[in-house]
Chain A
Amino acid sequence: MDQIIKSDDNDDIKIEAERENDSKRKTILIADDIEINRLILRNIFEDEYRISEAENGVVALNILRNTENVVAVLLDLQMPELDGYGVMAEMQKDERLKAIPVVIITASTDEESQVRALSAGAYDVLFKPVNPTIALHRVKSIIARAEAIFVREQNLLLTKQLRESEIDEKTGIYTFNAFCEKTKKMLLANPDKEYLILRFDIDNFKMYNDIFGMEAGDILLREIGNLCKATSLPGMLYAHYGADHFLLCLESELMKRFPQGELLKKLASEQHRDFDIVGRVGVYVVEDKSIPISLMCDRALLALRTTKGDYSQRIGYYNDDMRLALLDEQTITGEMIPALEGKQFLVYLQPQYNQDTMTLYGAEALVRWKHPIKGMISPGKFIPLFERNGFISTLDMYILDQVCRLQRGWIDSGLSVVPVSVNLSRRDIYNPSLCEDVTTILEKYDLSPELIHLEITESAYMENPRLMIDTVKTLRSKGFHVEIDDFGSGFSSLNTLKELPVDTLKLDMKFMADTVDNRRGGSILSSIVRMAHLMKLPVIAEGVEKKEQADFLKSIGCYYIQGYYFDRPMPVIEFEERLRSFKPDTMRGRRFTEDVEGATDFLSPSSQATLLFNSFVGGAGILEYNGENVEGLRFNDNFFISLGISRGEYDDKQLNLRQRFDDSNWQILLEAINKAIETRRESVCEIQSKPLGKRVEPIWTRVRLRFLAQSGTRKILYMAVDNIDSQMQLMLRVEKLSKQLEDIMKSVPGGILNYEYSDTLRLTYANEAIAEMFGYRYKEYIKLFSEAPFDTVYAEDQSETRSALRNAVYSRKNFVDMKFRHVCKDGSYHWVRLCVRINYRQDRTCNGTCILMIIDEDVIRQERVDALVKQLKQNNETPQLL
């Protein structure tokens, strides 16, 4: 019975599930008044589709209107109530039903009814009697086609909707077009209010995309969109212009509450912390409401562009100068080619000196534009423009040609020449034939490449590292000397130095502003010089304007100097004077100083300290402590030998020494480190580190630490390590033995004592039994008598015991046996015998271990015996007397 019910339940569930499943299946509606026909069609399709049947057109339409997933209608033309044509006509009126394909199944084979059916909206016509296979395939392909059309139409619709949409899909705020429209309306509606157009973007957004991926970039844009929406107030309009550009129109009064700074701060904190998200804003104050909104946005862009490349200035305001500057630029662009042809571009040369020997190292070629009407045009005015419009490449080659011509002339006139540096712009890096172009020019003047140095700015490396490396390698392979210009201006200069094989570094003092006054800047500068020297790279400091700068540079070992302090950029004729009056530098940049500051530099791989460090007999290491973690900067070979491991086994531990210790040992180490830092003296600790390599036992080491240097919050310490594993094992064994001994001593019935004598007598050990013997508690006994052991002696016996002791100490007797009365807590006493064994003696100090026994009974017995003897003596005497 139970089983039956159960199976019923199961069936119910199954039926329910099937029904559920069934309703989701694609449905074919068969409309035919003759049941036979319906059954035959049903038989064809019911394996693959859910079938609905209608015996006339009215029922068919009813079903169609109330069923969601009808994928096809198999329609008989001739039906009562409403025929096939009627059904199709109704379906055409309904948006949804219109899309459902209709296949006419008819007995009429005449063309006219076929045409009529097709023109009424039927997809196909099949004739009765139907061939089942053909019918199935036709209907199936019709359904598939209809579905494809539906999907495509949906997509088209969506695209159209998006195109017409005012909302930007990526960010959820207005599109540019919508922004222009809405802003225009807002400005017109409020003629008395003043408005601002703000345009903001994110610094290095492209790089953000490169690092974190397009998807993350899109998320960032979306979040900015969300924040815009969240911070929007009445009188504000936000839009996404495209890429990372956003627009904001707001009333001037709201500017104070402009949330952009906060907005980006918020983003920066929520997003990747290792990427500094910096926004920049260009502001256009709407003065002329009649100009198109898009032009206002362009002006805001001009303002935005002025903030680029300046990390201190994040907001730029539009002013008409910018527009004029733009016009100016256009004028310059128009004049540049005639200027080149008219030889208006002149080469100026700025000498470079070795300030130690005051010899001429070389010169940098600089361009000047001598305009026939405007006079000298500042390079700052045209170089950035030429870099943008690409003319710089032509100009660079022109200058190179001029310099080569000069060199040739000087050589021919017998002057001793020095190398001249020519600037290559980052544009040139992209020129695939750069190397050939340069070589061709040199060949034209029959010059050897070492007379021309090529300067490439470091920022070109950041722009396209791979290309820059390849270009530099090719140029160097042809014998050119490549100088990296503006070194230190990039944000990854160390990387540049590592990857880029250059010949000289040029440090621009203007990037090192305040360096001389500022200690930190100074130490950066000296580090760069030192690092460069370690790499055997000459360093030229340019932009040196003051004596202090020159002196400082000299003090850190930077001898090659270019700057106004020595000489300004000068016309060729003047430079020829310099060529005549100065000797060429013979060191050719290869003058390096070792150990510039005279500091013990454990970190440089070549210093003497390192040599000592490496050959130090014990294990040693250099640690860096940042207040939390301890990092091993270097370890010598003996360090690993003393720990019994290989360097390789320690590889992954070195950067995080914390993992080498359990909590308590780590604390001990940290305490020792802190102590070494505070006291500036050596501190020592003995710690146990976790097993390493093949060892299963922990390693005991004695660590001596000494503070070396501090760099910010990071402290550098020297560490010497002794493996004290065997000592510690021994100590542990001694400890164990002592414990055993103590246990034995505790359980001995007699008293065991240890005295130390050094001017005074001290009780340094007493077993527990002794206290009990005289009615004291142990602690009480120790407290009372450890500093005054003679107090245990009965007053009458004290002087005797003291002299016995003194005798023992001075007579060099190693064994003393004493008898005295030992006081009890209750005021009574016991007779005791104290056997002292002196086991240590030095000068006036000695140590004795004693056994103490109560001898009351012996004493009493002795007294009795004494009394008896006395009595006997008396008895003996009496007869004599008698």
Chain B
Amino acid sequence: MNINTDELKKAGFDYEKGLNRIGGDTALYELLLKLFLEQKLIESADKALEIKNYSELFTSLHTIKGTAGNLDITELYRAACELTELLRNNSSPDDEKTALLYNRVRELYIRAENGIIASLQQ
């Protein structure tokens, strides 16, 4: 199976670093990409934001952060870090700032999802 690495790079993946992390095992890398798609981590975050459950949002973003870190989706990882730092130990953060940062995370997340889809379709 070929992965279109250009699509991934465009979508914010540091492909080389990510592949290196798992010892260059491309099959495993592909599996991890597919698992990312399946998990739909963003959905639980969306829900949490909707009902303004910030601790739930924190948890979801924490998970996104870890996963993005492990897959080396660099920008997404940084955005998630920024938001989790805002939400950490803070039950009533600034709504606007939260929304702003969250949109950034969401945008990058969707871009990553799309990038994976595009890279695997090839």
Query: Which residues does A use to contact B, with CB under 8 Å?
Result: 33-37, 39-40, 43, 76, 78, 106-110, 128-132
Q: Contacts A35-B35, A40-B22, A43-B28: A129 and B70 contacting too (C-beta < 8 A)?
A: yes
Quick one: which of A36, A108, A109, A110 contacts B70, CB cutoff 8 A? A36
Evaluate contact between A128 and B32: CB separation under 8 angstroms: no
Q: How far is the CB of B100 from chain A (nearest CB, A)?
A: 22
Evaluate contact between A129 and B21: CB separation under 8 angstroms: yes
Evaluate contact between B23 and A36: CB separation under 8 angstroms: no
Evaluate contact between A39 and B28: CB separation under 8 angstroms: yes
Evaluate contact between B69 and A36: CB separation under 8 angstroms: no
Evaluate contact between B67 and A43: CB separation under 8 angstroms: no
Please tell me if B36 contacts chain A, counting CB pairs below 8 Å: yes
Please tell me if B63 contacts chain A, counting CB pairs below 8 Å: yes
Given contacts A37-B70, A129-B77, 9 further A-B contacts (CB under 8 A): A39-B28, A40-B22, A43-B25, A78-B63, A107-B66, A110-B88, A128-B65, A129-B72, A130-B70
Quick one: which of A33, A110, A129, A132 contacts B69, CB cutoff 8 A? A129
Cα distance, A43 to B18, chains bound together (Å)? 13
Please tell me if B51 contacts chain A, counting CB pairs below 8 Å: no
Which residues of chain B in 19-54 are interfacial with respect to chain A, using CB atoms and an 8 Å cutoff? 21-23, 25, 28, 31-32, 35-36, 39
Residues of B within 8 A of A107 (CB): 62-63, 65-66, 69, 84
Q: How far is the CB of A166 from chain B (nearest CB, A)?
A: 57
Evaluate contact between A34 and B31: CB separation under 8 angstroms: no
Nearest B residue to A76, CB-CB? B66
Residues of A within 8 A of B71 (CB): 36, 129
What are 8 contact pairs spanning A and B, CB under 8 A? Answer: A34-B66, A36-B67, A39-B31, A40-B21, A40-B22, A43-B25, A107-B65, A129-B70
Nearest B residue to A77, CB-CB? B62
Nearest A residue to B70, CB-CB? A129
Quick one: which of A34, A43, A129, A130 has the most chain B CB within 10 A?
A129
Q: How far is the CB of A652 from chain B (nearest CB, A)?
A: 72
Q: How far is the CB of B3 from chain A (nearest CB, A)?
A: 16
Q: How far is the CB of B108 from chain A (nearest CB, A)?
A: 16
Please tell me if B59 contacts chain A, counting CB pairs below 8 Å: yes
Cα distance, A778 to B25, chains bound together (Å)? 110
Query: Which residues does B use to contact A, with CB under 8 Å?
Result: 21-23, 25, 28, 31-32, 35-36, 39, 59, 62-63, 65-67, 69-72, 77, 81, 84, 88
Q: How far is the CB of B115 from chain A (nearest CB, A)?
A: 16
Nearest A residue to B89, CB-CB? A112
Evaluate contact between B28 and A128: CB separation under 8 angstroms: no
Quick one: which of B36, B66, B70, B81 has the most chain A CB within 10 A?
B66
Quick one: which of B31, B35, B69 contacts A128, CB cutoff 8 A? B69
Cα distance, A343 to B35, chains bound together (Å)? 107
Evaluate contact between B66 and A132: CB separation under 8 angstroms: no
Cα distance, A43 to B71, chains bound together (Å)? 14
Residues of A within 8 A of B69 (CB): 107, 128-129
Residues of B within 8 A of A128 (CB): 65-66, 69-70
Residues of B within 8 A of A33 (CB): 63
Quick one: which of B23, B59, B63 contacts A132, CB cutoff 8 A? B23
Quick one: which of A40, A107, A108 has the most chain B CB within 10 A?
A107
Q: How far is the CB of B82 from chain A (nearest CB, A)?
A: 12
Residues of A within 8 A of B84 (CB): 107-108
Residues of B within 8 A of A130 (CB): 21, 70
Residues of B within 8 A of A36 (CB): 32, 35-36, 39, 67, 70-71
Residues of B within 8 A of A132 (CB): 21-23
Q: How far is the CB of B7 from chain A (nearest CB, A)?
A: 19
Q: How far is the CB of B105 from chain A (nearest CB, A)?
A: 14
Quick one: which of A35, A43, A109 contacts B22, CB cutoff 8 A? A43
Q: Contacts A107-B69, A129-B70, A129-B72: A40 and B32 contacting too (C-beta < 8 A)?
A: yes
